[in-house]
Structure 1
Amino acid sequence: MSKQIPVGISARHVHVTREHLDILFGEGYQLTVKKDLSQPGQYAANEQVDIVTEKGTFKNVRILGPERKQTQVEIALTDALKLGVNPPVRDSGDLKGSVGVTVIGPKGQVKIEEGVIVACRHIHMTPADAAEFGVKDKEIVKVCVGGDRGLIFDNVLVRVNDNFKLELHLDTDEGNAAKVSTGSTVAIVK
Protein backbone atom coordinates (compact mmCIF):
# COMPACT_ATOMS: atom_id res chain seq x y z
CA MET A 1 0.00 0.00 0.00
CA SER A 2 1.35 3.42 -0.88
CA LYS A 3 2.09 6.05 1.74
CA GLN A 4 -1.04 7.81 2.98
CA ILE A 5 -1.60 11.57 2.91
CA PRO A 6 -3.70 13.25 5.61
CA VAL A 7 -6.69 15.32 4.47
CA GLY A 8 -7.62 18.83 5.54
CA ILE A 9 -11.10 20.14 4.68
CA SER A 10 -11.21 23.87 4.06
CA ALA A 11 -14.46 25.78 4.65
CA ARG A 12 -15.14 29.20 3.11
CA HIS A 13 -12.71 31.82 4.41
CA VAL A 14 -11.08 35.17 3.72
CA HIS A 15 -7.46 36.35 3.56
CA VAL A 16 -7.02 40.12 3.97
CA THR A 17 -4.41 42.77 3.25
CA ARG A 18 -3.13 45.19 5.88
CA GLU A 19 -4.99 48.03 4.11
CA HIS A 20 -8.30 46.17 4.12
CA LEU A 21 -7.86 45.03 7.73
CA ASP A 22 -7.54 48.72 8.71
CA ILE A 23 -10.79 49.53 6.90
CA LEU A 24 -12.72 46.51 8.17
CA PHE A 25 -11.59 46.57 11.82
CA GLY A 26 -9.97 49.98 12.39
CA GLU A 27 -6.57 51.54 11.87
CA GLY A 28 -3.72 49.38 13.19
CA TYR A 29 -5.97 46.46 14.14
CA GLN A 30 -4.17 43.13 14.58
CA LEU A 31 -5.69 39.74 13.92
CA THR A 32 -5.88 37.46 16.95
CA VAL A 33 -5.28 33.71 16.79
CA LYS A 34 -8.24 31.42 17.42
CA LYS A 35 -6.26 28.28 16.48
CA ASP A 36 -3.20 27.32 14.51
CA LEU A 37 -3.81 25.53 11.21
CA SER A 38 -1.91 22.48 9.99
CA GLN A 39 0.37 24.53 7.72
CA PRO A 40 3.15 26.20 9.74
CA GLY A 41 2.56 29.91 10.38
CA GLN A 42 -1.07 29.80 9.22
CA TYR A 43 -3.96 30.32 11.62
CA ALA A 44 -7.70 30.79 11.91
CA ALA A 45 -8.31 34.23 13.37
CA ASN A 46 -11.02 35.09 15.87
CA GLU A 47 -12.12 37.83 13.48
CA GLN A 48 -14.97 37.26 11.05
CA VAL A 49 -16.53 39.28 8.24
CA ASP A 50 -19.65 39.15 6.07
CA ILE A 51 -19.38 38.38 2.35
CA VAL A 52 -22.08 40.12 0.30
CA THR A 53 -23.22 40.19 -3.32
CA GLU A 54 -26.45 41.44 -4.89
CA LYS A 55 -27.85 37.90 -4.71
CA GLY A 56 -26.65 36.55 -1.38
CA THR A 57 -24.74 36.89 1.87
CA PHE A 58 -22.59 34.73 4.10
CA LYS A 59 -22.32 36.08 7.63
CA ASN A 60 -19.43 35.45 10.01
CA VAL A 61 -16.87 34.12 7.54
CA ARG A 62 -13.58 33.36 9.27
CA ILE A 63 -10.43 35.33 8.38
CA LEU A 64 -7.26 33.25 8.06
CA GLY A 65 -3.92 34.80 8.90
CA PRO A 66 -1.37 36.08 8.47
CA GLU A 67 -2.15 39.09 6.26
CA ARG A 68 -1.74 38.67 2.49
CA LYS A 69 -0.61 40.85 -0.43
CA GLN A 70 -4.12 40.74 -1.90
CA THR A 71 -7.49 40.14 -0.27
CA GLN A 72 -8.81 36.74 -1.29
CA VAL A 73 -12.12 34.97 -0.65
CA GLU A 74 -12.14 31.18 -1.01
CA ILE A 75 -15.52 29.50 -1.36
CA ALA A 76 -16.96 26.18 -2.53
CA LEU A 77 -19.08 25.93 -5.68
CA THR A 78 -22.27 25.54 -3.63
CA ASP A 79 -21.34 28.81 -1.86
CA ALA A 80 -20.94 30.45 -5.29
CA LEU A 81 -24.51 29.44 -6.19
CA LYS A 82 -25.88 31.14 -3.06
CA LEU A 83 -23.85 34.28 -3.77
CA GLY A 84 -24.81 34.28 -7.46
CA VAL A 85 -21.19 34.46 -8.64
CA ASN A 86 -19.12 32.29 -10.97
CA PRO A 87 -15.58 32.18 -9.56
CA PRO A 88 -12.77 30.36 -11.34
CA VAL A 89 -11.08 27.27 -9.89
CA ARG A 90 -7.56 28.49 -9.14
CA ASP A 91 -4.46 28.02 -7.06
CA SER A 92 -4.38 30.31 -4.04
CA GLY A 93 -3.06 33.76 -4.98
CA ASP A 94 -3.98 33.43 -8.69
CA LEU A 95 -6.70 36.08 -8.62
CA LYS A 96 -6.37 37.97 -11.92
CA GLY A 97 -9.73 38.12 -13.69
CA SER A 98 -11.61 36.46 -10.82
CA VAL A 99 -14.91 37.82 -9.51
CA GLY A 100 -15.48 40.33 -6.72
CA VAL A 101 -17.68 40.75 -3.63
CA THR A 102 -18.19 43.20 -0.80
CA VAL A 103 -16.50 42.33 2.49
CA ILE A 104 -18.08 43.89 5.58
CA GLY A 105 -16.39 44.20 8.96
CA PRO A 106 -17.41 45.91 12.20
CA LYS A 107 -15.75 49.25 11.27
CA GLY A 108 -16.18 49.42 7.49
CA GLN A 109 -16.52 47.62 4.20
CA VAL A 110 -14.40 46.91 1.14
CA LYS A 111 -15.62 46.12 -2.36
CA ILE A 112 -13.02 43.93 -4.06
CA GLU A 113 -13.26 43.85 -7.85
CA GLU A 114 -11.47 40.50 -8.03
CA GLY A 115 -10.31 37.97 -5.47
CA VAL A 116 -13.05 35.33 -5.18
CA ILE A 117 -11.95 31.83 -6.17
CA VAL A 118 -12.75 28.19 -5.65
CA ALA A 119 -9.36 26.87 -4.54
CA CYS A 120 -8.09 24.01 -6.66
CA ARG A 121 -7.52 20.85 -4.69
CA HIS A 122 -3.87 20.56 -3.80
CA ILE A 123 -1.32 18.67 -1.74
CA HIS A 124 1.17 20.53 0.44
CA MET A 125 4.46 18.67 0.81
CA THR A 126 8.12 19.20 1.62
CA PRO A 127 10.88 18.44 -0.91
CA ALA A 128 11.57 15.21 1.04
CA ASP A 129 7.89 14.22 0.70
CA ALA A 130 8.00 15.02 -3.03
CA ALA A 131 11.05 12.80 -3.47
CA GLU A 132 9.35 9.97 -1.57
CA PHE A 133 6.19 10.24 -3.71
CA GLY A 134 8.17 10.75 -6.93
CA VAL A 135 6.47 14.05 -7.78
CA LYS A 136 7.58 17.65 -8.26
CA ASP A 137 6.24 21.13 -7.55
CA LYS A 138 3.29 22.14 -9.79
CA GLU A 139 2.80 18.55 -10.98
CA ILE A 140 -0.82 17.43 -11.41
CA VAL A 141 -1.68 14.03 -9.87
CA LYS A 142 -4.66 11.82 -9.05
CA VAL A 143 -5.65 10.96 -5.49
CA CYS A 144 -7.60 7.86 -4.44
CA VAL A 145 -10.11 8.11 -1.61
CA GLY A 146 -11.34 4.82 -0.11
CA GLY A 147 -14.54 4.06 1.80
CA ASP A 148 -18.22 3.77 0.89
CA ARG A 149 -18.11 7.01 -1.15
CA GLY A 150 -14.64 6.29 -2.50
CA LEU A 151 -13.54 8.07 -5.63
CA ILE A 152 -10.52 9.35 -7.53
CA PHE A 153 -9.85 13.08 -7.53
CA ASP A 154 -8.16 14.12 -10.77
CA ASN A 155 -6.32 17.42 -11.33
CA VAL A 156 -4.74 17.64 -7.87
CA LEU A 157 -1.96 20.23 -7.76
CA VAL A 158 1.26 19.35 -5.93
CA ARG A 159 2.76 22.30 -4.01
CA VAL A 160 6.27 21.78 -2.66
CA ASN A 161 7.95 24.02 -0.09
CA ASP A 162 10.34 23.49 2.83
CA ASN A 163 7.78 25.14 5.14
CA PHE A 164 4.84 22.90 4.22
CA LYS A 165 3.41 19.99 6.16
CA LEU A 166 2.10 16.99 4.19
CA GLU A 167 -1.66 17.40 3.64
CA LEU A 168 -4.27 17.24 0.87
CA HIS A 169 -6.55 20.28 0.92
CA LEU A 170 -10.12 19.80 -0.28
CA ASP A 171 -13.07 22.18 0.01
CA THR A 172 -16.31 21.23 1.77
CA ASP A 173 -18.03 20.16 -1.46
CA GLU A 174 -15.20 17.76 -2.30
CA GLY A 175 -15.03 16.40 1.24
CA ASN A 176 -18.78 15.78 1.32
CA ALA A 177 -18.75 14.09 -2.11
CA ALA A 178 -16.09 11.62 -0.95
CA LYS A 179 -17.38 11.37 2.66
CA VAL A 180 -13.97 12.36 4.04
CA SER A 181 -13.12 14.80 6.79
CA THR A 182 -10.05 16.41 8.28
CA GLY A 183 -7.81 13.61 9.48
CA SER A 184 -8.91 11.06 6.87
CA THR A 185 -6.13 9.73 4.64
CA VAL A 186 -5.77 9.26 0.88
CA ALA A 187 -3.13 7.99 -1.56
CA ILE A 188 -1.61 9.33 -4.78
CA VAL A 189 -2.29 7.08 -7.77
CA LYS A 190 -0.46 7.28 -11.08
Structure 2
Amino acid sequence: MQIPVGVSARHIHLSQEHLTVLFGAGAQLHPKKDLSQPGQFAAQETVDVQGPRGKIERVRVLGPVRPETQLEISQTDALKLGMQAPVRESGHIEGTPGLTVIGPQGQLDLQMGVIVAKRHVHFSLDEARKYGVRDGQELALRTKGERGLIFEHVTARVSPTYKLDFHLDTDEANAAGLHTGDEVEVIELEHEHGQEHFHGNEIIRVDSSPDVGKTPESVR
Protein backbone atom coordinates (compact mmCIF):
# COMPACT_ATOMS: atom_id res chain seq x y z
CA MET A 1 0.00 0.00 0.00
CA GLN A 2 1.44 3.38 -1.00
CA ILE A 3 0.31 6.48 0.93
CA PRO A 4 0.88 10.12 -0.06
CA VAL A 5 2.78 12.35 2.36
CA GLY A 6 1.59 15.63 3.85
CA VAL A 7 4.24 17.50 5.84
CA SER A 8 2.61 19.56 8.58
CA ALA A 9 4.36 22.77 9.65
CA ARG A 10 3.58 24.47 12.96
CA HIS A 11 0.03 25.78 13.15
CA ILE A 12 -2.78 26.63 15.54
CA HIS A 13 -6.47 25.76 15.70
CA LEU A 14 -8.66 28.33 17.46
CA SER A 15 -12.01 28.17 19.19
CA GLN A 16 -14.50 30.85 18.21
CA GLU A 17 -14.13 32.43 21.65
CA HIS A 18 -10.37 32.72 21.30
CA LEU A 19 -10.64 33.89 17.67
CA THR A 20 -12.74 36.79 18.94
CA VAL A 21 -10.21 37.63 21.68
CA LEU A 22 -7.32 37.68 19.22
CA PHE A 23 -8.97 39.27 16.17
CA GLY A 24 -11.90 41.25 17.56
CA ALA A 25 -15.68 41.03 17.75
CA GLY A 26 -17.29 39.30 14.77
CA ALA A 27 -13.97 37.84 13.60
CA GLN A 28 -14.05 35.04 11.05
CA LEU A 29 -11.32 33.03 9.38
CA HIS A 30 -10.60 33.78 5.75
CA PRO A 31 -9.39 30.81 3.67
CA LYS A 32 -5.99 31.23 2.02
CA LYS A 33 -5.35 27.68 0.80
CA ASP A 34 -7.24 24.39 0.90
CA LEU A 35 -5.54 21.54 2.76
CA SER A 36 -5.43 17.85 1.86
CA GLN A 37 -8.33 16.95 4.17
CA PRO A 38 -11.76 17.95 2.82
CA GLY A 39 -13.15 21.12 4.38
CA GLN A 40 -9.87 22.09 6.05
CA PHE A 41 -7.94 25.21 5.06
CA ALA A 42 -5.00 27.42 5.95
CA ALA A 43 -6.39 30.82 6.89
CA GLN A 44 -5.00 34.21 6.00
CA GLU A 45 -4.82 34.94 9.73
CA THR A 46 -1.65 34.37 11.76
CA VAL A 47 -0.70 34.83 15.42
CA ASP A 48 2.49 35.06 17.46
CA VAL A 49 3.17 32.61 20.29
CA GLN A 50 5.31 33.38 23.34
CA GLY A 51 6.84 30.64 25.47
CA PRO A 52 8.93 30.82 28.65
CA ARG A 53 12.17 31.52 26.75
CA GLY A 54 11.29 32.33 23.17
CA LYS A 55 8.78 33.60 20.64
CA ILE A 56 7.62 32.37 17.23
CA GLU A 57 5.92 34.86 14.95
CA ARG A 58 3.32 34.43 12.21
CA VAL A 59 2.02 31.00 13.16
CA ARG A 60 -0.64 30.07 10.63
CA VAL A 61 -4.22 29.59 11.82
CA LEU A 62 -6.02 26.58 10.32
CA GLY A 63 -9.75 26.48 9.84
CA PRO A 64 -12.53 25.99 10.43
CA VAL A 65 -12.75 26.90 14.13
CA ARG A 66 -12.75 24.07 16.66
CA PRO A 67 -14.28 23.52 20.08
CA GLU A 68 -10.87 23.98 21.74
CA THR A 69 -7.71 25.90 20.88
CA GLN A 70 -4.68 23.74 20.09
CA LEU A 71 -1.15 24.67 19.00
CA GLU A 72 0.77 21.99 17.08
CA ILE A 73 4.55 22.42 16.96
CA SER A 74 7.69 20.37 16.36
CA GLN A 75 10.22 19.42 19.02
CA THR A 76 12.55 22.02 17.47
CA ASP A 77 9.87 24.67 17.97
CA ALA A 78 9.40 23.53 21.57
CA LEU A 79 13.11 24.07 22.24
CA LYS A 80 12.90 27.57 20.77
CA LEU A 81 9.93 28.40 22.98
CA GLY A 82 11.63 26.92 26.03
CA MET A 83 8.99 24.34 26.86
CA GLN A 84 8.31 20.61 26.84
CA ALA A 85 5.40 19.70 24.60
CA PRO A 86 4.14 16.10 24.78
CA VAL A 87 3.50 13.93 21.73
CA ARG A 88 -0.28 13.62 21.54
CA GLU A 89 -3.06 12.81 19.12
CA SER A 90 -4.93 15.89 18.00
CA GLY A 91 -7.68 16.87 20.40
CA HIS A 92 -6.07 15.14 23.38
CA ILE A 93 -4.85 18.23 25.21
CA GLU A 94 -5.59 17.39 28.85
CA GLY A 95 -2.52 17.99 30.98
CA THR A 96 -0.57 19.72 28.22
CA PRO A 97 1.27 23.03 28.73
CA GLY A 98 0.01 26.42 27.66
CA LEU A 99 1.59 29.67 26.50
CA THR A 100 0.70 33.18 25.40
CA VAL A 101 -0.97 33.69 22.03
CA ILE A 102 -0.81 37.21 20.56
CA GLY A 103 -3.17 38.50 17.89
CA PRO A 104 -3.72 41.89 16.27
CA GLN A 105 -6.59 42.79 18.62
CA GLY A 106 -5.63 41.05 21.84
CA GLN A 107 -3.80 38.20 23.51
CA LEU A 108 -4.67 35.20 25.64
CA ASP A 109 -2.82 33.00 28.09
CA LEU A 110 -3.57 29.41 27.21
CA GLN A 111 -3.67 27.11 30.23
CA MET A 112 -3.20 24.03 28.01
CA GLY A 113 -3.20 23.03 24.36
CA VAL A 114 0.42 22.85 23.16
CA ILE A 115 1.32 19.50 21.60
CA VAL A 116 3.68 17.80 19.21
CA ALA A 117 1.21 15.97 16.98
CA LYS A 118 1.58 12.19 16.87
CA ARG A 119 2.26 11.05 13.31
CA HIS A 120 -0.82 9.54 11.72
CA VAL A 121 -2.53 8.42 8.52
CA HIS A 122 -5.98 9.58 7.48
CA PHE A 123 -8.24 6.95 5.93
CA SER A 124 -11.72 7.33 4.49
CA LEU A 125 -14.17 4.56 5.39
CA ASP A 126 -13.78 2.96 1.96
CA GLU A 127 -9.98 3.08 2.18
CA ALA A 128 -10.02 1.58 5.67
CA ARG A 129 -12.25 -1.28 4.54
CA LYS A 130 -10.15 -1.85 1.42
CA TYR A 131 -6.91 -2.20 3.36
CA GLY A 132 -8.29 -3.82 6.51
CA VAL A 133 -7.46 -0.88 8.77
CA ARG A 134 -9.37 0.12 11.88
CA ASP A 135 -9.44 3.47 13.68
CA GLY A 136 -6.67 3.75 16.27
CA GLN A 137 -4.61 0.91 14.79
CA GLU A 138 -0.85 1.41 14.57
CA LEU A 139 1.09 1.08 11.33
CA ALA A 140 4.75 0.94 10.30
CA LEU A 141 5.70 2.94 7.21
CA ARG A 142 8.87 2.75 5.11
CA THR A 143 10.27 5.73 3.22
CA LYS A 144 12.53 5.71 0.17
CA GLY A 145 15.60 7.66 -0.87
CA GLU A 146 19.05 8.37 0.54
CA ARG A 147 17.65 8.97 4.03
CA GLY A 148 15.09 6.18 3.95
CA LEU A 149 13.85 4.93 7.29
CA ILE A 150 10.94 3.19 8.97
CA PHE A 151 8.35 5.12 10.98
CA GLU A 152 6.77 2.97 13.68
CA HIS A 153 3.73 3.69 15.87
CA VAL A 154 1.86 5.61 13.16
CA THR A 155 -1.80 5.90 14.20
CA ALA A 156 -4.58 5.21 11.71
CA ARG A 157 -7.39 7.76 11.85
CA VAL A 158 -10.61 6.70 10.12
CA SER A 159 -13.53 8.97 9.27
CA PRO A 160 -16.02 9.46 6.42
CA THR A 161 -14.65 13.01 6.08
CA TYR A 162 -11.01 11.97 5.57
CA LYS A 163 -8.83 11.45 2.51
CA LEU A 164 -5.79 9.14 2.40
CA ASP A 165 -2.74 11.06 3.66
CA PHE A 166 0.25 10.49 5.98
CA HIS A 167 0.79 13.48 8.28
CA LEU A 168 4.09 14.08 10.02
CA ASP A 169 5.83 17.21 11.29
CA THR A 170 8.79 19.06 9.80
CA ASP A 171 11.36 17.47 12.13
CA GLU A 172 10.29 13.98 11.07
CA ALA A 173 10.07 14.90 7.39
CA ASN A 174 13.52 16.48 7.38
CA ALA A 175 15.04 13.41 9.06
CA ALA A 176 13.68 11.21 6.27
CA GLY A 177 14.14 13.67 3.40
CA LEU A 178 10.38 13.68 2.78
CA HIS A 179 8.29 16.36 1.07
CA THR A 180 4.57 16.84 0.60
CA GLY A 181 3.47 14.72 -2.35
CA ASP A 182 6.05 11.95 -1.79
CA GLU A 183 4.83 8.44 -1.03
CA VAL A 184 5.56 5.97 1.75
CA GLU A 185 4.86 2.25 1.91
CA VAL A 186 2.92 0.46 4.62
CA ILE A 187 5.00 -2.54 5.69
CA GLU A 188 3.20 -3.63 8.83
CA LEU A 189 -0.26 -3.54 10.40
CA GLU A 190 -0.88 -4.37 14.05
CA HIS A 191 -3.95 -6.54 14.49
CA GLU A 192 -5.63 -7.70 17.66
CA HIS A 193 -4.52 -11.28 17.03
CA GLY A 194 -0.87 -10.75 16.17
CA GLN A 195 1.10 -9.08 13.42
CA GLU A 196 0.24 -9.02 9.73
CA HIS A 197 2.78 -7.86 7.20
CA PHE A 198 2.61 -6.16 3.81
CA HIS A 199 4.98 -7.04 1.01
CA GLY A 200 5.00 -4.34 -1.66
CA ASN A 201 1.41 -3.53 -2.55
CA GLU A 202 -0.11 -6.81 -1.34
CA ILE A 203 -3.48 -6.14 0.31
CA ILE A 204 -4.42 -7.95 3.51
CA ARG A 205 -8.18 -8.27 3.65
CA VAL A 206 -9.88 -8.72 7.00
CA ASP A 207 -13.45 -8.40 8.17
CA SER A 208 -14.47 -4.79 8.73
CA SER A 209 -14.23 -3.84 12.37
CA PRO A 210 -17.00 -1.83 14.08
CA ASP A 211 -14.28 0.71 14.84
CA VAL A 212 -13.93 1.53 11.14
CA GLY A 213 -17.08 3.62 11.30
CA LYS A 214 -15.97 5.61 14.31
CA THR A 215 -15.46 9.31 13.74
CA PRO A 216 -12.57 10.90 15.69
CA GLU A 217 -13.30 13.81 18.00
CA SER A 218 -11.82 16.35 15.62
CA VAL A 219 -10.39 16.52 12.15
CA ARG A 220 -6.61 16.26 12.17
TM-score, structure 2 normalization: 0.84
Alignment of 1:33-182 (within 5 A): 33-182=31-180
SS in 2 for 1:40: coil
Q: How many Å separate the matches in 2 of 1:54 and 1:96?
A: 20
Q: Deviations over 1:53-82 (max 9, x none)?
A: 120000000000000111000000010001
Q: Deviations over 1:167-187 (max 9, x none)?
A: 000100000000000000001
Quote the RMSD (CA, aligned, Å).
Answer: 0.7
SS in 2 for 1:24: helix
SS in 2 for 1:182: coil
Please state which structure has a larger fraction of its residues in strand.
1
Q: How many Å separate the matches in 2 of 1:56 and 1:110?
A: 16
Q: How many Å separate the matches in 1 of 2:162 and 2:82?
A: 34
Give the letter for the 2:86 counterpart.
Answer: P
Unmatched tracts of structure 1, length 5 or more: none
Does structure 1 conserve the Cα–Cα contact (< 8 Å) formed by 2:123 and 2:165?
yes
Give the letter for the 1:143 counterpart.
Answer: L
In the TM superposition, residue 153 of structure 1 has moved relative to its aligned partner by: 0.2
Count of equivalent residues: 188
Give the letter for the 2:80 counterpart.
Answer: K
The residue number in structure 1 matching 2:8 is 10
Does structure 1 conserve the Cα–Cα contact (< 8 Å) formed by 2:24 and 2:105?
yes
Give the letter for the 1:177 counterpart.
Answer: A
Give the letter for the 2:101 counterpart.
Answer: V
Does structure 1 conserve the Cα–Cα contact (< 8 Å) formed by 2:52 and 2:83?
no
SS in 2 for 1:114: coil
Give the letter for the 2:111 counterpart.
Answer: E
Q: How many Å separate the matches in 2 of 1:55 and 1:69?
A: 28
Identical residues among aligned pairs (%): 53
Q: How many Å separate the matches in 1 of 2:161 and 2:16?
A: 23
Q: Deviations over 1:18-37 (max 9, x none)?
A: 11111100011111000010
Unmatched tracts of structure 2, length 5 or more: 189-220
1:21 to 19, 22, 45: 19
Give the letter for the 2:19 counterpart.
Answer: L
Q: How many Å separate the matches in 2 of 1:181 and 1:145?
A: 11
TM-score, structure 1 normalization: 0.97
Q: How many Å separate the matches in 2 of 1:188 and 1:134?
A: 12
Q: How many Å separate the matches in 2 of 1:106 and 1:172?
A: 27
Give the letter for the 1:109 counterpart.
Answer: Q
